[in-house]
Structure 1
Amino acid sequence: MSKKIPFDATQEVRDTCLCLHVQRAARALAKRFDDALRPAGLTNGQFSLLMALNRPQPPSIAPVATLLAMDRTTLTAALKPLERDGMVRIEIDPDDRRSRLLVLTDAGHLALARALPIWRATHADVEAGLPDQDADRLRASLRALA
């Protein structure tokens, strides 16, 4: 037989669980940015991925996966639609033929150019809506959790 957990335990978790609150906030922010970026033809995840590739030199998979807190398999799956749409090209690293470089194409740069002003406006609205408008403190707290 199982022991039933009292409802006040459910309320305790609902009211105090950092994981739950971060997940809820992440889902709400993801939806807000997905909605905002839809006219640019990108999701918030695709925007973040393309932005992670916007570097002076094309990165390999590992540093991008680390930056985005993804495993390599998930990153590879996320790259497929961007590659199919011509925004990303995956090339063999000439210095290490076992490694792959993630190249942001002209179409990828164009997509970012369309999306960046939308992201900036949406981001400013999100920050303006924070209590005490202390986005730097929130970012520091989230980095500490990561």
Structure 2
Amino acid sequence: MSIQPVIPYSTTIHIKDTCLCLHAQRAARALARRFDMALKPTGLTNQQFSLMMALNRPEPPSMGPVARLLAMDRTTLTAALKPLAARGWVAIEQDPKDKRGKLLRLTESGQDALSQAVPIWRQVHGDIEAGMTSDPLVLRRGLLEVSA
């Protein structure tokens, strides 16, 4: 039986201080908590807000483009849509051009819920950006590069 080499504690500290994945996860969790708390009166989570905003288009999108935009697989997107459809905020309809496809549409009550959430998002988002010492545009560009 071989004994695994011990990873030096200095390696642990180096990874803690430099790991992009760890820092992105921590920031994402902190942002999610902040937006979830702010959006709570609307009945939306930050994930639901983002999903509904992804559906706010002139023409109802199909599942593929929405899943890509949100970096989700279709199964995860389908699961995320269920509570929104159950509340009557999102309609999942057969695509008339492709009977196997689904189109996703915000309902009138979904648009109303989203309309209540947007000013909250604007306020929280503005507060976060105003409190940053680094440039939010640079951060967004970096995140887009990583997610591309």
TM-score, normalised relative to structure 1: 0.97
Q: Tell me the alpha carbon deviations over residues 14-64 of structure 1, each in whole angstroms, 9 at most, x when there is no partner.
A: 001111111100110011000110011100000000000000000000000
- In the aligned structure 2, how far is the partner of 1:18 from the partner of 1:97? 42
Partner of 1:3: 5
Matched, 1:108 2:110: yes
1:59-108 residue CA offsets vs partner (Å, 9 max, x unmatched): 00000000000000000000000000100010001111111000110111
Provide the rounded CA distance (Å) in 2 between the counterparts of 1:4 and 1:38.
Answer: 46
Q: How does 1:54-133 map to 2 (within 5 A)?
A: 54-132=56-134
Provide the secondary structure at the position in 2 that maps to 1:92: strand
Identity in percent? 61
Name 2:16's counterpart in structure 1: 14
AA aligned opposite 1:55: R
SS at match of 1:99: strand
Instruction: Within 5 Å, give how 1:42-61 maps onto structure 2.
Output: 42-61=44-63
SS state at 2:122 partner: helix
Q: Partners in 1 of 2:133 and 2:143 — Cα distance?
A: 16
Equivalences, count: 145
Cα distance in structure 2, aligned partners of 1:11 and 1:62: 40
Runs (4+) off by over 4 Å: none
- Deviation for aligned residue 1:130: 1.1
Unmatched segments (≥5 aa) in structure 1: none
Match of 2:40 in 1: 38
